[in-house]
Amino acid sequence: MVTDPFSYDAVRQTLERFSETVPEILCSHPATSKYSTGLYNLLDQVDSPFTVAVTGQMRVGKSTLLNALIGEDLAITGVNETTATINWFKHGGEELDGKFKVVWKDRPEEIFSMECIRDWIGDSEKAAQTRYIEFFSTSKLLKEANFIDTPGTRSVIESHEETINEFLAQRCEKESMRQGGRADAIIYVFPVVARESDQNRLDSFGEGTRIPGSSPFNSIGVVHKWDHLMADSPFEEAANKAATVAEAMKGLVCSVIPVSAPLYIASERFDDSFWDKVVILSSIVDDAGFKKLVLNDRFFEKENTACTLTAEDRQQFRSDYTLPWVSLRLILKELRRKGISEPDAARDYIRESSGILRLKHELEQRFFSRSRLIKILGCLNRAWEPCEQASGILRGEKVKLVSELAQLPSYLEYLEARITDNDPTVQRLHDFIREFQHVLRDRVKNTAGVLTKIDHERLAASDLRDQIDADLACLDMLARSDGVPFEPGMINRLRALFGFYGPEWSQRCSLFPQENLEDGLKQLLDDIANHSLAREWKKVQDHASSRIEQLLNYIEQIRGI
Amino acid sequence: MADARGKIKEIYVKAAMLLERMEDSERLADLRPVYNRVEMGIFRLVVMGEIKKGKSSFINALLGEPELLPTASDIATSKVYKILYGPEKKTKVFFLPDVDTGKREPPLTVSPAQLAEYGTEARNPGNEKRVDFIGVELPNSMLRSGLVIVDTPGVGGLFREHRDITLRYAPNADAVFFVVDSVESVISRPEIEFLKELLKMSSQRVVFIQSKIDAADEETWKAWQARNQKIIAEEIGLPIDRQLYFPVSAEIKVMADAEKSGELLDESGYLDLLNYLNHQLIPRKEKALAKDAAAVFRACLAEIAEVQKRSVNVLQQNTREALADMQQRLAEKKKQMIEWRSTTFQTEIQSFNHQFQDLRRNTRNRLQEELDPNGLLISGMIDKIKQDDSAPAKVIAENVKQYQQELLAQTGVKANDIHRAFVGAFKTALEQTIQRMGATQEISVANSEDITFDPSDTIIRQNLDMHFSGFDNTKNTYFGGMAGAAIANVIVGLIFPPAALIAAVGGGLIAGSLANRDTKARNKLSALDRLKGILLGLQQQLMRHSVNAMDDLAVTLERESSAAFKKIADRMQSDLEKEIAEVQETATATKQETAERLKRSMETLDETSRLIADVEILLKA
C-alpha cells in the first residue's frame, strides 16, 4: 500500500515519530535532553481546534473588536475595565448560555454565572489566580475557530504583561502546551501608530509558529481606534495609517485593515430610530451650529438653536444608544461630509466603512480555509525547532571533543619520554591520560551517533515543513486583492493545488474531472510554465510545478497498483 | 511678588543712573549683561511624550497658531523644534557639528514647504542630513517675554533614537510638559519608565497634559485622568495633591481663539493651564533669575558705597595738613597695594592654580576610572548578557539594545555627577582663595564694623581711625563682592551637561551599529562576542567624550578665573588712584566747591544705601 504523502495521516505519522522516538534520541545525550520536553504533546496539538488570538497593546479595543466579530457582547468592555485574564471564546450549547468557566491555576475549574464576571476585571485578585476563562456562544464564527482575548501589553499592571508573555512567549511552552493553548493565528490590533513593542511581540509570535523568513500567513493586522482622527476624511486617513503600519510591519503581518468595531456594532444593532436621528443631526443647515454640536459630548447635550432636536431629545438619544462619543462624532461628521441623508443609506455606508466585513472576509480567506495547513505547519515547526537546536549543540560538542582528543597524543609522548623507574607518578599520569583517551573516543562516537539520528529526523521534518510553508506562501500571494497575474479559473485551480480545500491529494485535485486527472494536471503544468512572470511570482510557478509532479507521481503509483 | 522682573529693572535703572553720574562706565558694563539675562527672561518649556499623543497640536493651540507645527502626517515631528520670539516668522535648520572637525554648518533659512526635507523621518532617514534642530521665530505675544517652547520627537515609536534626542533636552529645561492623551490609552509602562529616566536627569517639575479631551466622553476622560494620577502617584511616588495635571483640548482652544469665546477657552482646559503658566511657572523662574541678578547688584553696590564713603572721607578733611597727611598715607597705601599685587596676590593666584590643576587631574582620573570599559559600570552588564547565552540570537540583540540604553543613561548620570562635583570643588577653591586674599590679621572686631552702612556714624569713625587697615577693608569689600559678582559671571552658563553630549554620541551609535534588525546570526556565541565588542566600544567612546568635555570646561574655568582676579585687582587700584586724585583736587578747591561735592557724595551714598536695602528685600523675598 502506498501512503498518500500529502495526507493528514502522513503528517500524523511524522508527528507521532517526533513525539515518541525523537525525545528518546534527544535524551540519549546529556547536552540535548532538555530539548525533548517540548515534543510530547504534538499530537494533541494537531488535533485541537484552530485558535485565533486577538492581541495588541492595552486599551486598543481588542474586546470590543471581538464582540463585533462574534456578534454578541461576550467580552467585557467599558471605561475603566481592562481585560485581566486570558479569555477563551468557544462554541457552546445553550446549557452554557449566560455562564462562564474559570480554570484556576491551583484548583479545579468552576462554572460561574455571568453576573460574577466583574470580579475578574482590572487589577483583581481573582484574575491573578486564574489560568484562563472560557466564554461560550452559539455564534457562527466560533464554529470555525476558538478565539482568545488577551490582556494588552504596555500596561502598568505588571501581572498583565506576565500573563500575556506566559501565553505567547515560547519560554513557558510546557504550561501553554498542556492547555493545548497556543494560538495558531493572531489578529494583531494596532493603534494608529505602531510601536516598537508591537514589532517585538509580532516577532516572537512569528518565531514560535513559523519558519524563519517565511511569509506571515498566520498574522492579520488591524488598525483600530482611529475614530478620533481629525483629517478631512477620517476613513481615508485611517487607510493611510493602515498602509503605513503595513509598510513598517512588513514580514510580520500579511495584511493590515482599518476597522472600527463601534461603527459596525452601531450599524448591526441600532434600530431605525437611531439612524433617523443621526441623519437629522448630521444635516443641520447652520455650519456654526453643527460645529458646536460636535465640539464635545457636553456641548452635544446643550441648547443649540440650529438643531431641530431639543436638548432633552439629544440627552435621551445618548442614553438610549451606548456608543463612544468619538464614534458618534465621526458618524455625524462623515455623513455630513458625504451628504448622506437617507437613514438606510447611512447605515449601509457606515457598516461598509467599518471594515469589519472585510476583516471577516480575510479571516475566512486567510485563516479558516487554510486552518489545517497552518496547524500542521505550526506543529512541524515546533517539532523541528528543538532538533535544530540540539543539532547545533551536538555539532559544537563534537568539535570540542575532537580537538581535545587531538591534543592527547602529544601529552602522552611528552610523558613517555620522562617515565623513569624511580618516579611512579609520571607513569600513573600517563596511564590516566591513556584511559581518558578511550573515554573521549567513546564520547565522540556517541555524540556523532546521536547527531546523525537527529539530523535525519530534522531533515525529514524540514522537508515536509518547507513544502507546506511554500503552499501557504503561494496561497498568500494568490489572496492579494490585485496584481495576481492569472485568470480567476486558474487562480482557483492553483489554490486547490496548494491545499486551499484541504491538504490531501484528492482535495488538491478536486477541481479537475476525476476521469482524467492526469490531463488536467498536465494542462495546468503547461499553463503555468507558459506564463512569463515577474520575479516574485517565480516561486509560485516553481512550487506549482513541483506539486504537480509529486501528484502525478503519486497517481501513477496508485494506478500501478 | 509676581513682578520680580519689574523690581530688578527699577533697581538697575537707578544704579545705572548713579554709575553714569559717577562716570563709572566699567561697572555699568558689568551690570548690563546681568540685567539683560533677567530682561530676556528665557524660559525653556520642553514638551515631551509618546508619539501621536498630540504634542504638536498642543503647542499650536497653546500659542494660538493652528498651522505652526506639522501635525497630520505620521510621526510628524522627527526633529526637535525650538520656537521663540522673532519680529517675523522664519524657519531655520540648525546642523550638528561635524564629527571630525567639530565645526557646524551655518543655519539654513527654509520655507515651510522645504521643512519636510529636514524634519521628517521619511525624507531625512536616520538624520543623514545631520540636522540638530529646527528653529522657528515667531512674532507671537506669548513668546515676547522670553518663553522658548521646545517640541521633541515622540518617544515609544519605531525610532528608538528619538528617545535619546528627547532626553538630551531634559537637563536644561525650566519645565517639562509631558503629554498623555484621552484616546489611545492611560499611562503605560514604557511611559512610566521614560518618566523615571527623565526625573533622574532633570530636577524641574513635570507638568502633565492630558490631550484630546474633546474626543472622549467626559466620564471616560475623567476616569482616565483619575487612573493616570493614581499610576503617577504609585509608580513615581508623586502624591496626587502635588501633581500638576491639566486635561485640555487643542481642538476647542482653536475654536475658542477663532470665536474669541471665554466660555470655550474655559471648556478647552487651556484657561487653567495659561493661568498656571503665566502666574506661577514663569514668574517663579523670573524670580530666580532676579535673585541671581540681585546678588550681583548687591556686590556692585557695596563697592560703590565703599568708593563714596572714601570720597566723603576725603572731602571732610578740613585742613590742608590733614589732606597732606592723607595724601601721604594714600601714597603709602598705593605702594603697599602694588607690592601686594606682585607678592601675596600672585602667590594666592599661583596656589589657586596649583589647586585647580590637582583638581583637574583628579577629575580626569576619576572619569577614566569610573567610566573605564573594564570597570564596574560595564562588568555588571556583561554578566547580564552572559546569562542570556541560551536565548535566541534575536532576543540577545534586543536585550543588548536595552543594555546599551542603560549604559548610556548610567554613563550620563555618572559623568554628570563627576562634572558637577568638579565645578563645585572649583567654586569652593575660588571662594577660599578670595577669602584669603581679602582677609587680614589686623582687622579687629571694631574695624570690621566699619563695613556697615550708617553714613554719618561710619564717616566719623573712619575719620578717627584712618589706618592702613583701610586698604584691607577695601580688599575685603572687593573680594567679598567678587564672591558674588565674579563667580556668578564665571559660573552662570557654564554648568555643563555632559549627559546631553553623551546622549548625542550614543544616539548616533545606536542608529549606526544596532539598528540592523536582521541579526539573525545562527552562531550565537559569535553574535554575543560582537555585541559585547560594540558595548565596549561605545563605553570607550563615551569616556573619551566625557574627558574631552571636562578638559574644555577646565580651560574655560581657568581662563575666566584668572581674568576675574585681574579685573578685581585692577579695579581696586583704579579706585585708589581716583581717591588720590580727589585728595589732590580737594587740596586746591575752594571751601564752597568742597562743601557742594561733599553734599553730592553724601547724597549718592544715601541713595546707594537705599538701593542696597531694596536689593536686600528682593533677596529675602
pLDDT digits (tens, 9 = 90+) for B321-341: 888 888 888 888 888 888 888
Closest CA to B406 of B609, B597, B167: B167
pLDDT tens digit sequence for A291-308: 999 999 999 999 998 999
- Residue A121 scores a pLDDT above 90: no
Q: Per-residue pLDDT averaged across B13-20, rounded? A: 91
Contact criterion met (CB < 8 Å) for B158 and A195: yes
Q: Per-residue pLDDT averaged across A328-332, rounded? A: 96
Residue-level pLDDT at B358: 92
Q: Per-residue pLDDT averaged across B191-210, rounded? A: 84
How far, CA to CA in Å, does B215 sit from each of A113, A295, B3? Answer: 35, 9, 39
Side-by-side strand order, sheet with B131-138:
B108-110, B90-95, B131-138, B80-85, B147-151, B43-49, B175-181, B206-211, B244-247
Which cell numbers in the block locate residue A375? Answer: 496547524
- Residue B500 scores a pLDDT above 90: no
Mean pLDDT of chain B: 76
Chain B residue with minimum CA distance to A245: B74
Residue A78, SS3 per DSSP = coil
- Residue B362 scores a pLDDT above 60: yes
State the complex-level ipTM.
0.71
Bridge-based pairing of strands A185-190 and A99-104 is unpaired
Select the more confidently predicted residue: A232 or A440. Answer: A440
Q: What is the dihedral of CA A418, A424, A430, A431, to 10 degrees?
A: 150
Q: Per-residue pLDDT averaged across B519-531, rounded? A: 52
Contact criterion met (CB < 8 Å) for A203 and B394: yes
Contact criterion met (CB < 8 Å) for A326 and B218: no
By Cβ distance, the residue of A58, A194, A231 closest to B188 is A58
Contact status, residue B613 vs residue B288, Cβ threshold 8 Å: no
Could you tell me what percent of chain A has a pLDDT over 70? 91
Cα–Cα distance for residue pair A365/A375, rounded to 1 Å:
15
Contact status, residue B93 vs residue B127, Cβ threshold 8 Å: no
Residue B247, SS3 per DSSP = strand
Which cell numbers in the block locate residue B610? Answer: 537705599
Interface-testing mutation among A159, A195, A388, with chain B (most B C-beta atoms within 10 A):
A195
DSSP per-residue codes, A156-181: S-HHHHHHHHHHHSGGGHHHHHHTT-
- pLDDT grade, residue A345 (50/70/90)? very high
- pLDDT grade, residue B246 (50/70/90)? very high
Closest approach of chain A CAs to the CA of B218, in angstroms?
Answer: 7
Give the number of other CB atoms < 10 A from CB of residue B597. 18
By Cβ distance, the residue of A291, A298, A326 closest to B183 is A326
Cα–Cα distance for residue pair B525/B385, rounded to 1 Å:
11
By Cβ distance, the residue of A58, A195, A212 closest to B520 is A212
Cα–Cα distance for residue pair A18/B34, rounded to 1 Å:
81
Indicate the burial class of B274 (C-beta count within 10 angstroms; 0-12, 13-18, 19 or more). Answer: middle
Closest CA to A475 of A207, A149, A217, A92: A217
The 3-state secondary structure of B537-589 reads: HHHHHHHHHHHHHHHHHHHHHHHHHHHHHHHHHHHHHHHHHHHHHHHHHHHHC
Q: Which residues of A touch B153 (CB under 8 A)?
A: none
Phi, psi dihedrals of residue B94, rounded to the nearest 5° = -105, 140
Q: Per-residue pLDDT averaged across A228-235, rounded? A: 85
DSSP per-residue codes, B218-231: HHHHHHHHHHHHHH
Eight-class DSSP state of B146 = S
Alpha helices in A97-195 (DSSP H): 125-129, 140-144, 158-168, 173-178
Mean pLDDT of chain A: 85
Strand partners, B83: B136, B149
Contacts 24+ apart (CB under 8 A), B161-165: B161/B127, B161/B507, B161/B508, B161/B510, B161/B511, B162/B51, B162/B78, B163/B194, B163/B405, B164/B408, B164/B503, B164/B504, B164/B506, B164/B507, B164/B510, B165/B79, B165/B80, B165/B503, B165/B507
Closest approach of chain A CAs to the CA of B147, in angstroms?
Answer: 29
Contact status, residue A135 vs residue A87, Cβ threshold 8 Å: yes
- pLDDT grade, residue B206 (50/70/90)? very high
Q: Which residues of A touch B183 (CB under 8 A)?
A: 225, 228, 326
Strand partners, A255: A220
From A211-225, B51-65, B378-392, the region with the lowest mean pLDDT: B378-392
Bridge-based pairing of strands B131-138 and B90-95 is antiparallel
Contact criterion met (CB < 8 Å) for A154 and B394: no
Per-range mean pLDDT, top range of A466-470, B423-427, B562-566: A466-470
Select the more confidently predicted residue: B251 or A35. Answer: B251
Side-by-side strand order, sheet with A146-149:
A110-113, A99-104, A130-137, A87-91, A146-149, A51-56, A185-190, A219-223, A255-258
Residue-level pLDDT at B513: 39
Q: What is the dihedral of CA B342, B347, B353, B359, to 10 degrees?
A: -170
- Residue A389 scores a pLDDT above 50: yes
Interface-testing mutation among B74, B257, B268, with chain A (most A C-beta atoms within 10 A):
B74
- Residue A400 scores a pLDDT above 70: yes
Block residue for cell numbers 486599551: A59
- pLDDT grade, residue B215 (50/70/90)? very high
Give the number of other CB atoms < 10 A from CB of residue B198. 22
Characterize A371-394 residue by residue with b for buried, 16 or more Cβ atoms within 10 angstroms of its Cβ, and e for exposed.
bbbbbbbbbbbbbbbbbbbbbebb
- Residue A221 scores a pLDDT above 60: yes
Interface-testing mutation among B180, B189, B270, B523, with chain A (most A C-beta atoms within 10 A):
B189
- Residue B442 scores a pLDDT above 50: no
Residues in chain B: 621
Block residue for cell numbers 506543529: A379
Which cell numbers in the block locate residue A254? Answer: 500579511
Closest CA to B143 of B59, B55, B232: B59
- pLDDT grade, residue B342 (50/70/90)? confident
How far, CA to CA in Å, does A547 sit from each of A153, A351, A468, A491, A495? Answer: 41, 41, 10, 15, 12
Contact status, residue A380 vs residue A465, Cβ threshold 8 Å: yes
